[in-house]
Amino acid sequence: MPSVIVVGGGVAGLTVAHELVERGFEVQVFDTRTAWGGKARSQPVAGTGTNGRRDLPASTASASTHASTATSST
């Protein structure tokens, strides 16, 4: 099976990865962040999740995120 590495898990990277997987490629996506989506990712607001649920996403771009090293594959 042909394989492809995609660097960057933003909208562009995830879109091309999706299209390649649909065409039979084995795809690995790498990103320096721990969250997918790049500039279009959801940013959780600390303290909004209750009863063990995850925090809710922000409705503005002012929430902070954590940047760290991550290597993930689809």
Q: Applying CB under 6 A, which residues contact ligand FAD? A: 7-13, 30-33, 38-40, 61
Residue found by looking up tokens 């990277």 in the block: 13
CB of 51 to ligand FAD, least distance (A): 31
CB atoms within 10 A of CB 35: 16
User: If DSSP states are collapsed to H, E and C, what string results for 17-60?
Assistant: HHHHHHCCCEEEEEECCCCCEHHHCCCECCCCCCCCCCCCECCC
Nearer to ligand FAD, 39 or 53 (CB): 39
DSSP secondary structure letter of residue 70: E
Nearer to ligand FAD, 7 or 56 (CB): 7
Nearer to ligand FAD, 46 or 61 (CB): 61
CB of 53 to ligand FAD, least distance (A): 25
